[in-house]
Every structure is written in structure tokens, then in C-alpha cells.
Amino acid sequence: MKLKTLVRTGNRLASPSEQLHILQCSPVVAFSDKLAEHVALPLYRKQLTTLQINVGKLCNQTCTHCHVDAGPDRRESMSHETAQHVMDFLARSEVKTLDITGGAPEMNPQFRMLVREARKLDKQVIDRCNLTILLANGFTDLPEFLAEHQVSVVASLPCYLEENCDAQRGNGVFGKSIEAIGRLNELGYAQPNSDLRLDLVYNPTGLGLPPGQHELEAAYKSELDSRYGIQFNNLLTITNMPVSRFLDDLLRRGKYDEYMEKLIQKFNPSTIDNLMCRSLISVDWNGLIYDCDFNQMLDLVVAEGAERVHISQLTDDLLAERAIRTANHCYGCTAGCGSSCGGSLVK
């Protein structure tokens, strides 16, 4: 399977505004109306605990579900200047966690600087890793680097069966992922009495919602240990968001309305208090601020009047009690047990 990015093929859904138009004009109950049935609008941010930065769209993979439309042909990349603004914010902030994503975030030239400097500030650092990058030429020392700086690794593995995983992420990805996990285990990740965390991420291969996180984690641990002798800490289940490549796939198969209806029918008000946008802020490769990474891909920017807010302007107080921007893609975070970058929202 050799996919091309939406940008490379000239697909209309490469445009965030086109995606948002489809999401907002479809014959579904508006997310804001559904939300208003259960909470007073607008939805406000609580205490900011996590700064998530998307350092660019360059990636060594091209996955079918990727909401970033990342791939080898993308060139968007966070500059040293913007990365320094990130560090300046962390130095003046009470935020505890720097969450680094992409693309393959490790391919950004600023990745190691960001890790080193954030750890000097005693911030927890999360690397959202696709695993195969750990075996790629020029990156084979990454496992040792991550272990040395006690970086928590959150890695995508959408199934413990090779066929299902490769169907979503590309031929040969599963085998390389297993090898990479083995290397991390050898360095102490997910081992008894070790502080090095390795969490895996599951997302459905079809139109379904994730099953119960606890039960699926038990199955993952049993199957991966018995088949390959590898270990991890926790499994995080994430719903496929109807944006970018997954939105394109839904439309091409004529399944968009069916999927959105499923998300709406499974709306769970118990997820609202724990939505990640209430404690997380997202920064793009240019340094602009968004309420979450999905809003970032739809260009739903945080603004002060007509001006977009940049990381260089950000303070802990600036976004406190600020209304969060929502649209119909938000149903993906509130369906069933809920979905966030930290897994399900309802245990």
C-alpha cells in the first residue's frame, strides 16, 4: 500500500475550510446544539496542564487514518525560532507536560533540543512515535536518546494482528513496530521497577468505535507477550476523527452519514468534563495556538479579536476560562467512552 497525501494529489479535502464546510453542512444535529442540551454554552477551558506541539507534517509513513495528512512529501516543519518560543513559554508556565507530535516528530531538526530543554525545566515529555522511525536510517540512536532523557513514548499500534495493522499503516509496518518495541523494552521501557513508560494507541480499522479500553488492553498484553515477548504499560483507545484522510475515505465509500450518525447516537455527556481541550492547548509548526490538534487541522485558531494568538504571546492566564471552539468533528471525542490523546474519557 503506497498512499499519497491529500496535498500531493490535489484533493479538495487538503483544504481545512472544505473539510469544515462538509462537517458543518451535513444533515446532522450540530454539536453545539447537542452540547447545549447538557451544559451551559460555551464550553470553557479549565486549568492548563499540557502543551501539545505539532512540530510538522513530515513523516516516514502515510497512514490511511492520519488526521494530519502527514507523509514523506510534506515539508511543513517547526523552526528553531518557534521552538525557542515554546521553551520560553514552558519556562514561565506552570504547565507540567510537553506533548510532542507530528508527522513523525523525531524527524524535525528541533526535536532533540525540545526534549533536552524541557527536561531541564523538569517537564514531563511525551513523544508520539510511529515506532518505525526508530529503525530508520539516521534515527537508530533515538531509543537510547529517549531513554536517557526519560521521555514517555506513546506509540500507535492499531492492532496486535499483522494483517490489520498493515492495512491501516502500510505493508511491513507491523513487523518494524514489533522490532522497535523490543528495542525499547531492552532499554527498560515498560519493565518492572522502571520509570520509562511505553503506552500503545489503538484506533479502529473500520467504522466502529473503540471497545472497552481495559478489556482490549488485557487482550493486547496477552497476545503481544505470547506471540512476540514484548511489553507495554497501558493501551489508549482513540476514535477515528472525521477529518482529513479518514473523512476522505468515508466520503469515497459513501459511509460519511452513517459514521456521523453513529457518533451522534453514541454521544455521552459523561465525557464532557474530561475533554482534552479543557486542559490542553495545541501549537502548530508556525507557533499558532489552537484548542486541540484536531481544531488545528481544521484551522479553528484561537484568536484575540482579529489577531491569531502565537506561542510567543501565550501565558497561563491568557486562556483561562476562555470559550473553546467546537464543530461537528467534536462528536468523535464525546462518543461512547470518549476519546482523547490520553485514551478513553470514561473508565
pLDDT tens profile 288-342: 999 999 999 999 999 887 789 999 999 988 888 788 999 999 999 999 999 999 9
Query: Which of these ranges, 82-96, 111-125, 200-214, 267-281, has the smallest mean pLDDT?
Result: 200-214
Q: Compute φ and ψ for 129, nearest 5 degrees.
A: -110, 140
What's the pLDDT score for residue 161? 65
Cβ pair 204, 240 in contact under 8 A: yes
Give me the percent of the chain exceeding a pLDDT of 70. 97
H or E element in which residue 124 lies: strand 124-129
Cβ burial, residue 164 (10 Å; 0-12/13-18/19+): middle
Cα(338)–Cα(336) distance, integer angstroms: 5
Residues facing residue 323 across a β-bridge: 44
**Distance from C-alpha of 263 to C-alpha of 257, rounded to nearest angstrom:** 10
Q: In Å, what is the CA distance from 246 to each residue of 66, 206, 292?
A: 7, 10, 18
